[in-house]
Amino acid sequence: MATCQVCEVHAESVFKIEGMDCHEEVAILEKRLKKITGLEALHADVLSQRLTIQYDAAKLNTSTIAEAVAQTGMRAWLEHEQPTGVAPSAATRRLYVALAGVFVAIGMVLEYFGLDRRLVVAAYAAAIASGGIYSGRRALHAARSLALDINVLMLVAVAGAMVLGEWGEGATVVFLFALAQLLEARAMERARGAIRALMDLTPAEALIRDASGAFRRVPVDAIAVGDLVVVKPGEKIPLDGMVAAGESHVNQAPVTGESLPAEKGIGDEVFAGTINGRGALDVRVTRRRGDSTLARIIDMVERAQAQRAPSQTFVERFARIYTPVVLLLALAIGILPPLLLGASWSDWIYRALVLLVISCPCALVISTPVSVVSALAAAARKGVLIKGGAHLERLAGVRCVAFDKTGTLTKGDLRVVAVTPLNGAVPERILQLAASLEARSEHPIGTAIVARAREQAIALSSVEQFQSLPGLGAEALVDGRRVVIGNHRLFEERGVCSREVHALIEAATLAAGGQTMVIVGAEEPIGIIGVSDRPRESAREAVRMLREHGIAHVALLTGDHASAAQALGDAVGVDEVRAGLLPEDKVRGVEELRGRFGALAMVGDGINDAPALAAADVGIAMGVAGSDAALETADVALMADELLKIPYALRLSRATLRNVRANIVFSLGLKAAFLVMAVMGVATLWMAVVADMGATMIVMANALRLLRE
């Protein structure tokens, strides 16, 4: 339970609700709960069976809420707690369904041999009683709150069949319905389990070494930040942390989806749930269990699946009209022909009952979320976090992809390759000033310059008033002197670029073929530092695959100099290169490209490129494992630096959309066919049940296929 920090009165609790399988049940819950005083808001998520409730803690407590839910025939308990109260176990449910099947079979045999009608009816009645025990109870609860859920419809249909003397039919319907509900629950469990399976990746206990050097095995929940965990070869890493001793290869697939193990040494970051290779590692814990990267991934996937995809909203709106229309039709069919045309009452009432059975839109309503959740879970297992069904659908419509350069299309693992003095400066002094300044910077260029200074054992000076100039460079006071570092554009803007420097930069960039040139200036430019970066090996392949998936235009948007950008663009095979862009120019570039080519995905690093990512239809951030800010800002977050995950995500989103459409068309088509057959009197009750439940099963099975994508 979370309480409002200001007033300690507004509380929020999350319940698990057993029995909330369809949106009809949500309506029932809402009706019942709305009457309670102190309740402020509620939000239901059918697929994960969670109900989030906001309430006034002064007037209401969680047990009152749980009791109210119990009155609807469903069962509620606080998430993260054990379920309370007695519930039929899965085994007893299966037993009752099996019993119903046996009684139906007995009834049929008796009927076949023409035995006493009373015996036959008794067998069928026993089948109805044992098969209908659960849904019958639910139906009564639903009917009491005047809701027409599937249980009520079935109850009416079966009661009608009994009144018409069609006992065999009623019994078959009850049996099939109970069986289908069992199977359906199993399929739902699989979709939910796909996400939970991620959670099981972290061990429950870990070996820690305390200050005295003694080893102790303790529950992971009891471990604090700063503790030292010992991970043996082949073990799972229990918590996020930093390697303090040892060397090993770690299989990070569970978190990042990377296929190759990553090399880890002292100072490297490791994630909970990843698997240690042959070396032993001492890991200094940096995050508690609940904050680990994996825990956040799971949290995000769960939040993502609670969001509605546009097609889901469409289906739900359709269902809201469909059910009442079919019910009205059933009423008309059952009454009008016998009344006006003198047709047989029993014949037409029977047809009306068939309509009742097919009036439930559950297959239709459940199919979209199951597809979306399956896709989100499949993606998460590959290290691709998609923040919701809406993003997934938008991704499927993307026509144009724009890439950032440094760290995205290139490795971002930069190296200083040349230092050219200007105006009589000394190379060591240039590096010394530049590195002192860059020691404060987050930019990969800065990291490269600092690394070079360290290699040459150059001592750094103190720095004040550091300021980063996004897309341009940085400036600060070094030993009280103003020092500026950055690209050509920055120096032009400041009016300190001479014709000579300009020519030198042009010539050097061209000669070096793709190096990034940054100028260092005090009062005047004192040197040029050439930094090289390599394109990612998979960059060319990724761009090619994007084309294969029908992406019409691939662009490179960068703040770097034109010739360096063009060299990379040519190597990777993009259609267009836009260089010398400030962050706001990138946003304008995104908007312009979208106007020309349609929906656009921007791929960047999530921190530096946040505005452009936000402006795109889909913002994709790369290599976000361990970087919380990037994980939050993007619509799609790639845990690892793997460009090939972008065509994968595209393919998955399209497959999901196709899956959803196929399911909608299939279930609608089947409904339409049965509607016609029911009115014409050629469909029987049990056929309608089989069709309806069969449709649900087929649609779910089809959706679950996405788990394997």
**Where does this chain bind ligand ADP (CB under 6 A)?**
404-406, 438, 441, 443, 445-446, 471-474, 485-487, 516, 518, 558-560, 608
State the binding partner of 377 from ligand ADP, Mg ion, none, CB within 5 to 8 A by kind. Answer: none
Q: Is 344 exposed, middle or buried (0-12, 13-18, 19+ CB in 10 A)?
A: exposed
Question: What is the C-alpha to C-alpha distance for residues 235 and 276, in angstroms, rounded to an integer?
Answer: 5
State the binding partner of 311 from ligand ADP, Mg ion, none, CB within 5 to 8 A by kind. Answer: none
Measure the N-to-C terminal CA separation of the chain; round to a whole number of Å. Answer: 37
Phi-psi region of 70 (alpha: psi -120 to 50; beta: other; left: phi over 0): alpha
Residues 6+ apart with CB under 8 A from 1: 11, 12, 13, 62, 78
Residue whose Cβ sits closest to Mg ion: 608
The site string for Mg ion over 443-462 (x = CB under 5 A, - otherwise) reads --------------------
Interaction between residue 48 and Mg ion (CB under 5 A):
no
Which C-beta is closer to ligand ADP: that of 277 or that of 580?
Answer: 580
Residue whose Cβ sits closest to ligand ADP: 559
Question: What is the C-alpha to C-alpha distance for residues 19 and 75, in angstroms, rounded to an integer?
Answer: 7
Question: What is the C-alpha to C-alpha distance for residues 77 and 479, in angstroms, rounded to an integer?
Answer: 63
DSSP β-ladder status, 553-557 and 576-578 = parallel
State the binding partner of 474 from Mg ion, ligand ADP, none, CB within 5 to 8 A by kind. Answer: ligand ADP
Question: What is the C-alpha to C-alpha distance for residues 504 and 522, in angstroms, rounded to an integer?
Answer: 18
Which C-beta is closer to ligand ADP: that of 66 or that of 565?
Answer: 565
Handedness of CA 573, 574, 578, 579 (dihedral sign): negative
> CB 410 → ligand ADP: shortest distance, Å?
8
> CB 632 → ligand ADP: shortest distance, Å?
20
Question: What is the C-alpha to C-alpha distance for residues 18 and 462, in angstroms, rounded to an integer?
Answer: 63
List the beta bridge partners of residue 264: 248
> With CB under 5 A as the contact rule, which of the stretches 153-161, 397-405, 486-494, 667-675 interacts with Mg ion?
397-405
Task: Check if the beta carbon of residue 435 is closer than 8 Å to that of residue 450.
Answer: yes
Handedness of CA 307, 395, 366, 360 (dihedral sign): positive
Which C-beta is closer to ligand ADP: that of 236 or that of 411?
Answer: 411
> How far are the Cα atoms of 19, 387, 388 from residue 300, in angstroms, in the given order?
25, 7, 9
Question: What is the C-alpha to C-alpha distance for residues 271 and 624, in angstroms, rounded to an integer?
Answer: 12
* CA atoms within 13 Å, Cβ hemisphere of 407: 19
> CB 586 → ligand ADP: shortest distance, Å?
7
> CB 624 → ligand ADP: shortest distance, Å?
16
State the binding partner of 485 from Mg ion, ligand ADP, none, CB within 5 to 8 A by kind. Answer: ligand ADP
State the binding partner of 472 from Mg ion, ligand ADP, none, CB within 5 to 8 A by kind. Answer: ligand ADP
Q: What does the block give as tokens for 332?
A: 């008309």
Q: How many CB atoms lie within 10 A of CB 248?
A: 22
Q: How many CB atoms lie within 10 A of CB 368?
A: 29
Which C-beta is closer to ligand ADP: that of 386 or that of 437?
Answer: 437
Q: What does the block give as tokens for 285?
A: 């814990």
Which C-beta is closer to ligand ADP: that of 126 or that of 519?
Answer: 519
State the binding partner of 559 from ligand ADP, Mg ion, none, CB within 5 to 8 A by kind. Answer: ligand ADP
Question: What is the C-alpha to C-alpha distance for residues 704 and 191, in angstroms, rounded to an integer?
Answer: 7
> CB 532 → ligand ADP: shortest distance, Å?
12
The site string for Mg ion over 590-609 (x = CB under 5 A, - otherwise) reads ------------------x-
Q: What does the block give as tokens for 563?
A: 């010739």
To the query of whether residue 404 is one of the catalytic residues in this protein, the response is yes
Interaction between residue 406 and Mg ion (CB under 5 A):
yes
Residue type, 42: L
Question: What is the C-alpha to C-alpha distance for residues 54 and 61, in angstroms, rounded to an integer?
Answer: 11
> CB 441 → Mg ion: shortest distance, Å?
13
State the number of binding residues for Mg ion (CB under 5 A). 3
State the binding partner of 446 from ligand ADP, Mg ion, none, CB within 5 to 8 A by kind. Answer: ligand ADP
> How far are the Cα atoms of 170, 359, 504, 538 from residue 532, in angstroms, in the given order?
77, 66, 17, 18
Which C-beta is closer to ligand ADP: that of 487 or that of 667?
Answer: 487
> CB 580 → ligand ADP: shortest distance, Å?
8
Question: What is the C-alpha to C-alpha distance for residues 28 and 538, in angstroms, rounded to an integer?
Answer: 53
Picking from 700, 403, 433, the residue whose alpha carbon sits closest to that of residue 581 is 403
Which C-beta is closer to ligand ADP: that of 374 or that of 441?
Answer: 441
DSSP secondary-structure letter at 639?
Answer: S
Picking from 362, 370, 27, 14, the residue whose alpha carbon sits closest to that of residue 189 is 370
> With CB under 5 A as the contact rule, which of the stretches 110-118, 318-326, 402-410, 428-436 interacts with Mg ion?
402-410
State the binding partner of 141 from ligand ADP, Mg ion, none, CB within 5 to 8 A by kind. Answer: none
State the binding partner of 287 from ligand ADP, Mg ion, none, CB within 5 to 8 A by kind. Answer: none
> CB 556 → ligand ADP: shortest distance, Å?
9
Instruction: Indicate which residue of 227, 240, 404, 635 is catalytic.
Output: 404
Which C-beta is closer to Mg ion: that of 405 or that of 594?
Answer: 405
The site string for Mg ion over 345-384 (x = CB under 5 A, - otherwise) reads ----------------------------------------
State the binding partner of 238 from ligand ADP, Mg ion, none, CB within 5 to 8 A by kind. Answer: none
Which C-beta is closer to Mg ion: that of 127 or that of 637?
Answer: 637
**Which ranges constitute the DSSP H helices of 343-482?**
345-358, 362-381, 389-396, 427-438, 444-455
Question: What is the C-alpha to C-alpha distance for residues 166 and 65, in angstroms, rounded to an integer?
Answer: 42
Question: What is the C-alpha to C-alpha distance for residues 271 and 369, in angstroms, rounded to an integer?
Answer: 30
Which C-beta is closer to ligand ADP: that of 223 or that of 437?
Answer: 437
> CB 628 → ligand ADP: shortest distance, Å?
20
> With CB under 5 A as the contact rule, which of the stretches 5-13, 225-233, 270-278, 406-414 interacts with Mg ion?
406-414
> CB 84 → ligand ADP: shortest distance, Å?
54
**Which ranges constitute the DSSP H helices of 238-309?**
253-256, 293-306
> With CB under 5 A as the contact rule, which of the stretches 203-211, 331-339, 396-404, 642-650 interacts with Mg ion?
396-404
State the binding partner of 131 from Mg ion, ligand ADP, none, CB within 5 to 8 A by kind. Answer: none
Interaction between residue 516 and Mg ion (CB under 5 A):
no
Which C-beta is closer to Mg ion: that of 48 or that of 608?
Answer: 608
Q: How many helices (H) and strands (E) does the chain have?
A: 24, 27
> With CB under 5 A as the contact rule, which of the stretches 123-131, 180-188, 403-411, 534-542 interacts with Mg ion?
403-411
User: Of 240, 302, 404, 641, which one interacts with Mg ion (CB under 5 A)?
Assistant: 404
Which positions are annotated as active-site residues? 404
Q: Which residues bind Mg ion (CB under 5 A)?
A: 404, 406, 608
